[in-house]
Amino acid sequence: MAQKPVSTDDLIAVIIKGIDDVKGENVQLLDLRDIDNTVCDYFVICSGNSNTQVNAISGSVQKVVSKELKDKPWHIEGQNNSEWILMDYVNVVVHIFQKHVREFYDIESLWGDAKITQISPV
């Protein structure tokens, strides 16, 4: 029996739960659907305090999404130095930054036309 596709809303909710589980900070959801030529519909962006925490957030997101939705990222980058890990779930791309790297790249400003929602910890 074919598995029904995971809804984007469910995926985002479970990604955010994975981030919260290991105390990822400053979580933001960028809605890119009204912007032309974007690679995905949403960015989920968060910060960690160290490469250890950035790795832990990445691992937590993978574990929770796999367990609850039976889905896995299409691609992951940045695990070698863990300053900025990108997890590509096709419609949703997760960016996990160390704080200083997030401030440096400031991708929220680069995507200034996106609708940004600040996510409060649960």
CATH classification for the domain delimited by 8-119, as one of 3.30.460.10, 3.30.930.10, 3.20.20.70, 1.10.3210.10: 3.30.460.10
Return the pLDDT at 104: 97
Residue of 43, 53, 47 whose CA lies nearest to 104: 47
β-sheet bridge partners, residue 96: 46, 85
Q: pLDDT in tens for each of the 122 residues of the chain?
A: 556 678 999 999 999 999 999 999 999 999 999 998 888 999 999 999 999 999 999 999 999 999 999 999 999 999 999 999 999 999 999 999 999 999 999 999 999 899 999 998 76
Give domain limits for the chain: 8-119
* Strand arrangement, sheet containing 92-98: 75-77, 84-88, 92-98, 42-48, 25-31, 115-119
Entry pTM: 0.94
